[in-house]
């Protein structure tokens, strides 16, 4: 038998082995926890004792040109839940009370809690009273955070321009999206420790930083003109049965958009904020394209200002297609073609001009390319390469069929006619200021290129007056008391996307015009989509133009110019914003026969005013602190003292009249082009 000592030693050895094994297992477990589970456990520990709190920044306001707020942010409460904790402590009665406090049904509350996520929002952007009522129930797993909610104090006014911000404060459309990085500000994330009761511990007061508010956006939109445009458009949509429409008001000399209205007969407020038809939808412009055609033909020398075209008594065959006019017209000059809106006259001008030259001219006017406006989603329209045009395509393009433009594209093309031939870049944001009031952006007008000479622009503007003032004009309903209006009507068939042919009873009716015709301050385009047969542009769109223009000139304080306007009463665009109008770069593409303003003259030396419109002459004189004496109207034909002479008594006398005759080599080239074109036409007629 074993002695007691041996038995004791065996038990000690066995215990040693067991303890050694246990220590080994513990060591293996410790190594596993440190090496493999360490990062996960560290994260769990931090989540139990620390919290990251993000302080959202308030989105900057969006205001109109008069400082009226169009978008603001307000502090609200959002109630959240930790579903697992809440489910363990919530009874059926408590569920009903929580749903009532948040303004939800029990089914809605249950649906939001059925999630695997450890965190869920039960109600976003609610009033403080609702959040307090939910927290007062004392349920475990319920909390609330402060958030900023975007709201629009003017309702849907300028909805497409302002756009929309999402639930989490991100821009979704319009200005809210275009300038989102500036508007949304800079949120602050704070890492805080918790005590045993879960209360935050702030060791360093410097940790309590404030978020940086977003920048203030100032638009060019005038809320008075915008409201008037939307009201007049809504009335006409209801009367005419149109599916929708757009109205654009723009300063033709700067490109600043004063109103941009879009309305649909059947659409909700969300759709109106997410979609901007005036810059995103294209349509066939119809007869409004004729003014661009005539401008291109005059600039190219394809037709003379006094030349007449035979309009075939209302029926003209091109290939296998027949082009019709609304009336039986014989010989018409350019003024007559524009006034009665002859499709046949336009078709013949387009055929004489040719596909390549017409295409280049349209591209110069900005057709077929985005306008560069500071809003997202702008469309380029449709202008096919000239190599794909058949003869009938060229003819119908002359009166706006087969070409698609956005309303803003057409408005800026006509603005080039109104301002003397310069294509401007349109813009909607005139200034941006940070939270401290320091300017971040001050917008200045920007010239894209010269399209036509001032002489051609003036000629076409005078032709457009006949549309409104002429006895046979199609736009007589666009008249504005006391003002001369230059404009053009348009009526185009809508394309059936299924059959790719034209609807017979669905039209796009439009009118575009500017006033005062001799000194344009305001350009307005009205487009009504999907109106019935017989609703022509001159009948449904022109009256909207008259209503909006009448109110806009009162809002802007525009006074009808006298026959010989004086320096004191003339209207001005701020010269600092339009210095580029007189730059040599802007006039780089001008015909050599067009006098360029001599803005580089030294102080005390008279600059060259010849060839300038009255408006541009006054701006130039203002920049040189010269007093102007004016005789006549139109463009500057003569000046005293002459260019380069000393400015006596800081004054200059200008004699205005019709555009000066082109002299020199430019005139000889023009005459050669005219002679060549006439000879070619004569040869074609002999061959027929």
Tell me if 616 sits within 8 A of 609, measured CB to CB.
no
Burial of 278 per CB tally in 10 Å (0-12, 13-18, 19+):
buried
| Residue among 451, 478, 524, 477 nearest 294 (CA) | 451
For 228-271, the DSSP string reads: HHHHHHHHHHHHHT-SEEEEEEE-TTT-BEEEEEEEESS--HHH
Q: What angle do CA 504, 500, 497 make, to 5 degrees?
A: 90
DSSP state of 594: S
| Residue among 321, 320, 339, 319 nearest 329 (CA) | 339
Residue 287 among the catalytic residues: yes
Crossing angle for the helix pair 343-353 and 290-300, nearest 10 degrees? Answer: 40
- Which of the residues 73, 287, 295, 613 is marked catalytic? 287
244-250 and 257-264 beta bridge pairing? antiparallel
216-219 and 62-63 beta bridge pairing? parallel
Distance, in Å, from the CA atom of 469 to the CA atom of 287, rounded to the nearest integer, reads 18
SS3 of 15, please?
helix
SS3 of 376, please?
coil
| Residue among 532, 471, 542 nearest 242 (CA) | 532
Any bridge partners for residue 171, and if so which? 165
Any bridge partners for residue 651, and if so which? 627
Residue for token digits 């090496």? 35
Residue for token digits 């009033």? 127
| Residue among 459, 442, 178, 63 nearest 291 (CA) | 459
Which residue numbers are catalytic? 287
């Amino acid at each position: 038998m074993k002695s007691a000592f041996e038995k004791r030693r065996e038990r000690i050895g066995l215990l040693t082995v067991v303890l050694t094994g246990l220590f080994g297992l513990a060591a293996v477990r410790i190594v596993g926890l440190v090496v493999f589970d360490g990062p996960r456990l560290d994260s769990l520990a931090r989540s139990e004792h620390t919290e990251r709190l993000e302080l959202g920044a308030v989105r900057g306001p969006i205001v109109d040109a008069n400082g009226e707020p169009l978008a603001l942010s307000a502090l609200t409460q959002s109630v959240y839940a930790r579903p697992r904790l809440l489910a363990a402590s919530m009874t059926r009665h408590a569920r009903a009370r929580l749903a009532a406090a948040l303004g939800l049904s029990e089914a809605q509350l249950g649906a939001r809690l059925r999630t695997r996520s450890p965190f869920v929002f039960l109600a976003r952007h609610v009033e403080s009273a609702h959040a307090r009522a939910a927290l007062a129930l004392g349920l475990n797993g319920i909390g609330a955070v402060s958030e900023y909610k975007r709201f629009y104090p003017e309702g849907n006014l300028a909805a497409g321009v302002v756009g929309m911000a999402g639930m989490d404060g991100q821009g979704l459309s319009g200005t809210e999206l275009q300038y989102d990085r500036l508007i949304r500000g800079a949120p602050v994330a704070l890492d805080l420790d918790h005590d045993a009761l879960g209360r935050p511990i702030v060791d360093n007061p410097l940790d309590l930083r404030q978020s940086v508010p977003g920048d203030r956006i100032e638009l060019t939109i005038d809320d008075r003109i915008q409201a008037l445009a939307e009201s007049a458009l809504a009335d006409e949509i209801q009367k005419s049965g149109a599916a929708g429409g757009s109205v654009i008001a723009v300063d033709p000399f700067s490109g600043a958009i004063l109103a941009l209205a879009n309305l649909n007969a059947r659409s909700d407020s969300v759709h109106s904020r997410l979609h901007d038809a005036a810059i995103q939808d294209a349509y066939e412009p119809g007869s409004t394209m004729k003014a661009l055609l005539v401008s291109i033909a005059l600039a190219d020398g394809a037709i003379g200002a006094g030349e007449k075209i035979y309009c075939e008594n209302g029926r003209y065959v091109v290939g296998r297609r027949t082009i019709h006019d609304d009336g039986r017209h014989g010989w018409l000059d350019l003024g007559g073609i524009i006034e009665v809106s002859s499709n046949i006259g336009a078709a013949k001008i387009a055929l004489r001009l040719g596909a390549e030259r017409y295409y280049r001219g349209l591209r110069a006017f900005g057709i077929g390319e985005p306008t560069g406006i500071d809003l997202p989603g702008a469309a380029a329209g449709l202008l096919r390469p000239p190599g794909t045009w058949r003869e009938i395509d060229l003819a119908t393009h002359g009166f706006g069929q087969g070409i698609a433009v956005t309303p803003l594209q057409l408005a800026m093309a006509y603005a080039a006619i109104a301002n003397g031939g310069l294509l401007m870049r349109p813009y909607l944001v005139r200034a941006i200021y940070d939270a401290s009031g320091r300017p971040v952006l001050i917008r200045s007008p920007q010239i894209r290129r010269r399209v036509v000479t001032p002489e051609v622009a003036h000629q076409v503007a005078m032709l457009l007056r006949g549309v409104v003032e002429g006895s046979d004009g199609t736009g007589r309903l666009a008249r504005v008391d006391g003002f001369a209006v230059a404009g053009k009507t348009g009526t185009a068939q809508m394309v059936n996307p299924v059959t790719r042919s034209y609807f017979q009873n669905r039209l796009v009716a439009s009118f575009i015009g500017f006033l005062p015709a001799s000194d344009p301050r305001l350009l307005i385009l009205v487009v009504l989509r999907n109106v019935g047969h017989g609703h022509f542009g001159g009948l449904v769109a022109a009256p909207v133009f008259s209503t909006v223009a009448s109110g806009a000139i009162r809002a802007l304080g525009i006074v009808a110019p006298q026959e010989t306007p004086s320096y004191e009463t003339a209207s001005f665009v701020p010269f600092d914003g339009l210095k580029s109008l007189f730059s040599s770069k802007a006039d780089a593409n001008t015909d050599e026969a067009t006098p360029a303003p001599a803005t580089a003259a030294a102080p005390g030396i008279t600059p060259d005013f010849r060839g300038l419109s009255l408006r541009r002459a006054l701006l130039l004189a203002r920049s040189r602190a010269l007093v102007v004496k004016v005789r006549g109207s139109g463009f500057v034909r003569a000046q005293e003292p002459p260019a380069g002479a000393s400015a006596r008594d800081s004054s200059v006398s200008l004699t205005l009249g019709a555009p000066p005759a082109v002299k020199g080599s430019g005139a000889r080239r023009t005459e050669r082009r005219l002679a060549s074109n006439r000879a070619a036409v004569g040869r074609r007629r002999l061959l027929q």
